[in-house]
Each structure stands twice: as structure tokens, then as C-alpha cells.
Amino acid sequence: MPKPRNAVTRRPGPADTLSVRDGRLWVEERPASDLVEEFGSPLFVFSEAQLRGNLHRFRNAFGAEWPEGPVDVLPAFKANTLLELRRILSEEGAGADIYSPEELAGVLSTGVDRERVSVNGGGKSREHLRTCVAAGVRITVEDVDEIDLIQEVAAELGDVAKVRLRCKAAVPNLWRRTDFSQLSVPIDLGVQVYKSGIPREYLVDMGRRVFAMSNVELVGLHFHVGRHHPSLWFWEGLMTRYARLVGELSRAWDGWRPAELDIGGGMPSPRDPHNEEMARSEFLLTAAGYPLMVGARRLGEETYHRMMGRLVPALTGHRVRKEPPTIEELAATITSTLRRELTREGLDLQGMRLQLEPGRSLYGDTGIHLTRVKKVKRQSEPIPYAWVLLDTTYFFLAGGVLEHNRHPFVVADDVDGPASLAADLVGHSCFADQIVLGAHLPPVRTGDVIALLETGAYQESSASNFNALPRPASVLVSGTQARMVKRAETLADVYARDVVTEEARERVAAPGP
């Protein structure tokens, strides 16, 4: 019989810098548990080779499928704000998708090509826009009145601001359920209630106003709706509607043709954990079964708890995830759909620059989160259950909590061990802190290292200090070498922003009666 796949395995393709050797997890040429011995736990770990390889793969895949013009990869900085990782991407010639003035400052400090920086976000201040115009980055317009403020600022500086309009298209063809909700909400509704993007009713007039401005140049269009569905079907439907909107605007603007066409991000990562922690079917099963559970109490406590003991494993169990499309498959579908639909709309594609803004799909598998087991706790009645308490917390993985991520995991030094223990992996904050429900893993003991995979995107950048817990360090592995790229916080760091008056300090320091 074939050996079951562990969480590290994925379908054949470009080399993965995670490997299993003699039952141990390795990151490039370093055993994962050795990194904990050297740098402490919990710990974020990133692979330089994986980061560079992912960028090359995006660039090569889309470049091969879009011969009409240049292809720019603009990684979403919000997904991972570590400056050393961003410096590597800048060194590789990658652009950047940024949202806030603070993100812009971080990206500009890494030597990025400024013409390949897309500044997104609504409600941009005059000061922020002034920095954008002076830096020569692309301003992706979100608000109807934003272009007037950009014209004022650019005129003051005696410069020409290059802008793109962020479009909000109607996508009624995308009727499947969105992964941004565990309820049965169609993607189309999810796109419409999302705050970002200019409603199409304003776009034609905004373009005409820009064309009349002396200090603003409309160089392209932008479209991003996020990771609603991990399928080629989703991207084909999305690009079909985007292309139609581009055609409508081109005709309304007397044949105007975008020099830059940005398709945003929202692609799945290789071991995509998005909205996997509690499948929708399980949610509905819980809701539908609630009256039954209440009614069962009439059978007596012992019978009720026996029934719950059988039901709970079904609710915390987990289906085998379907692997998402590869970068090459996504590139082929996206570009062929755009090419077909834009041509139907009568647009000349020669020389048109295609831009994409991957976040989780570029960063996700570059990082893992290492954590030690603190305790294993069990109960046999009234409902059998077990917990593995870790020295981390889901407050260090907050991006995943918001998106109901179920991160793949392995025991770092027993990857292929028999999964004979069923338990929840929980963190050590005073919340429920459920990191992985219904985990099946080899028997573990205090001190064992567990690796949560696919944590390179949105986790380190969203970590918080609940319970006054200092945030972990981040380490970059390059072959056999590993170095800290962000130190762990100290207790002094946690309380550094608190303002305590001198009078209060003196009262605390004063001896008692």
C-alpha cells in the first residue's frame, strides 16, 4: 500500500525547500528543531531560497504566457513586512503592492523600483499623496474625489502623478460560495460588499476628469478582490468580467488603451489553509444538529454525554484538502482569458504591461512557525478529549484566525510517526486559543517541537501582544546558515508605549507605612 502523505508533501513540481530526512523536518539545510535550540521558541522561520524561487516562478510563468508585453510581480507587502525579505525581493527586481504610508516608507527603504510600486488604499491624506508624487510611485485611486487632491498636490510640486483607477466590477457569474465566510454567501455578494474599488457608475466620469487634468496621467487600471476561491474557474470568471469592464471604459474614453493592467492578487498558496479550520459543511451540521443535542438531554446526563462523545470527533475532524492550482496553471488560465476577452473588446494588446500582486501565494510557503509542547492534557469523562498546549498563541497567528486558517502541521522530529493521538493544538493565552482543532499526530511530550506550515503570509505581520506576550523572533535560513532578521520582543518592548507619570512612579516606589 502507498505510504500516506504527510503535511510536508505536495504534488511534484519545482523544488520545495522543506524536506523530511530520517523523520525530521528540514528547512533548506537546517533541521527545524535545531533552529529552536539556537533561537528559542516560539519562532517564525523563513526560507530565502523559497522566497527567491517563488518570485522567479511567478515571473517566468506569467512572462511565458503573456508575450504581448512586460510582466511585473508586485508582492503584497502587507502579507509580510519583514524588511530583509522585502530587500531580497527588491534585489530581485520585484515591485510592491502597499497600502499605508508606513508600508510605503518601509518598501522605499529597500531599494525597490519606484515605478513598480502600487500605492493602494482609500482615504489617502494630502501628506501621503505628496510623498507618493515626490517618490514617483503609481497611485492606485480608490475614492471618487481623490484625483482632485492628487492634481492639487502634483501641481504644487510641479510634477505629473501617474495613477490607475481601482475598479469594482459586477461578477454575477461567480455564484459559488466565497471562502471569506463560513456561511453560504456567493462570491458576487462578497465582492460587492467589500469596501475597496471604485463602483463602475463613477469610472467613466472620473476618467474624463483625469484626461482634462494637467498634472495627472491615467496609465492603467487595477482590479483586486482577494482570495475568494482556490480554483481556475474563479480566475476565468473574474478575468472575463474585468476584461469586459476594460472594454467598456476604453470605448467610453474614445479608444483609450491602458499601458498597465493590474490583476491584483488572491491566488492560493501551495498548502492553502484559508477557511479550512472549520469547513462550511461542519458549520451547517453543527447548526442543524443543535436541536438534536438539546433534545438528547432528556435522555439523561450519561446518555447525553455518550452521544456527545461520539459527535465531537465528527465535528472536529477534517477532510483531506484538495491541492490548489499551480502558479503555471493560474498563469495560463488568467492570461488566456484576458487575451481572449480583451481581443473581443477590440483592444490592441501589444506592449501592454501585465501586473500581479501575489501575497499568500508568494509568501505562504516561505515560512513556518515553530513551537514547543508545554503540556499534554486529557480527560476521559464526561466526554473524552485531549489538548496539546503549545508555547505559542493564535494571537501570533492572528491573520489565520481571522481567515479560519487550518495550518498543516508536523511534529518536527517525528514527521512520519503514527498519528495515534487525537487532540486540539491550543495556545497558551487565556482565550480558547484553538490553533488546530481535532489534530491527529504522533504521541508528543513536553519539549517536542511542532511546526505549523504555510505561515509565511499574514501571520508574523499580524501578531499581537494579548496577555502581554512578547512577539517571537523571525529567522531567515539560507542553505546551512540561519540568522535573525527580527529579534524577539522583550517585556520592556511590550510596555514601552505606556505613559506613566512621574508622580505615579514615585507613589509606587515610596515605602509603605
- pLDDT tens-digit series, residues 176-215: 888 887 777 888 888 888 888 999 999 999 999 999 999 9
Same domain, yes or no, for 342 and 406?
no
pLDDT at 438 over 70: yes
Strands of 417-472 (E only): list them. 421-426, 434-441, 449-452
pLDDT single digits (tens) 31-46: 999 999 999 999 999 9
Tell me the CATH number at 233.
3.20.20.10
pLDDT single digits (tens) 216-262: 999 999 999 999 889 999 999 999 999 999 999 999 999 999 999 99
Same domain, yes or no, for 59 and 184?
yes
Same domain, yes or no, for 412 and 304?
no
Residue 290 vs residues 57, 245, 286, 293, 295: alpha-carbon distances, Å: 47, 45, 6, 5, 9
Burial of 476 (0-12, 13-18, 19+ CB in 10 A): buried
The answer to whether position 268 is within a domain reads yes
pLDDT of residue 327: 96
The answer to whether position 507 is within a domain reads no
pLDDT at 8 over 90: no
Same domain, yes or no, for 40 and 58?
no
What sections of 23-82 are H helices per DSSP? 32-39, 48-65
pLDDT of residue 346: 97
Please state the rounded mean pLDDT for residues 135-164: 97
Same domain, yes or no, for 346 and 447?
no
Same domain, yes or no, for 292 and 434?
no
CB under 8 A, 24+ apart: contacts of 86-90: 86/110, 86/112, 87/111, 88/48, 88/51, 88/52, 89/51, 89/55
Same domain, yes or no, for 425 and 345?
no
Please state the rounded mean pLDDT for residues 268-281: 79
The answer to whether position 259 is within a domain reads yes
The answer to whether position 502 is within a domain reads no
Number of domains in the chain: 3
Same domain, yes or no, for 419 and 353?
no
Average of per-residue pLDDT values in the chain: 91
- CA dist 101 and 124 (Å) reads 9
Please state the rounded mean pLDDT for residues 142-154: 97
Residues 61 and 24 sit within 8 Å (Cβ to Cβ): no
The answer to whether position 511 is within a domain reads no
**Beta strand 421-426 pairing with 473-478:** unpaired
Q: Which residue has the higher pLDDT, 456 or 291?
A: 456
pLDDT band at 14 (very low <50, low <70, confident <90, very high): low
- CA dist 353 and 345 (Å) reads 17
Same domain, yes or no, for 207 and 290?
no
Same domain, yes or no, for 204 and 337?
yes
pLDDT at 2 over 80: no
pTM flag (> 0.95): no
pLDDT of residue 195: 85
Choice among 94-98, 412-416, 437-441, 509-513 with the minimum mean pLDDT: 509-513
Structural domain boundaries enclosing 290: 284-314
Q: Hey, which of 102-106, 189-193, 395-399 has the most confident mean pLDDT?
A: 102-106
The answer to whether position 348 is within a domain reads yes
pLDDT of residue 11: 52
Is residue 167 part of the annotated active site? The answer reads no
pLDDT at 4 over 50: no
Please state the rounded mean pLDDT for residues 22-34: 97
> Which residue(s) pair with 373 in the sheet?
390
- CA dist 222 and 216 (Å) reads 16
The answer to whether position 415 is within a domain reads yes
pLDDT of residue 414: 97
pLDDT of residue 509: 76
pLDDT of residue 285: 56
Residues 482 and 39 sit within 8 Å (Cβ to Cβ): yes
Choice among 18-27, 276-285, 292-301, 365-374 with the minimum mean pLDDT: 276-285
pLDDT of residue 328: 96
pLDDT of residue 507: 82
Q: Which residue has the higher pLDDT, 159 or 303?
A: 159
- CA dist 129 and 112 (Å) reads 18
Catalytic residue among 1, 15, 212, 430: 430
pLDDT single digits (tens) 377-393: 999 998 899 999 999 99
Same domain, yes or no, for 332 and 475?
no
Same domain, yes or no, for 156 and 99?
yes
pLDDT of residue 12: 44
pLDDT at 10 over 70: no
Which residue type sits at 369?
H
- CA dist 436 and 390 (Å) reads 11
Give the end of a domain, one of 295, 329, 361.
361
pLDDT at 472 over 80: yes
Choice among 187-201, 327-341, 438-452 with the minimum mean pLDDT: 187-201
The answer to whether position 383 is within a domain reads yes
pLDDT of residue 320: 66
Contacts of 205 (CB under 8 A, 6+ apart): none
What sections of 40-197 are H helices per DSSP? 48-65, 83-91, 101-108, 126-135, 146-157, 187-193
pLDDT of residue 183: 73
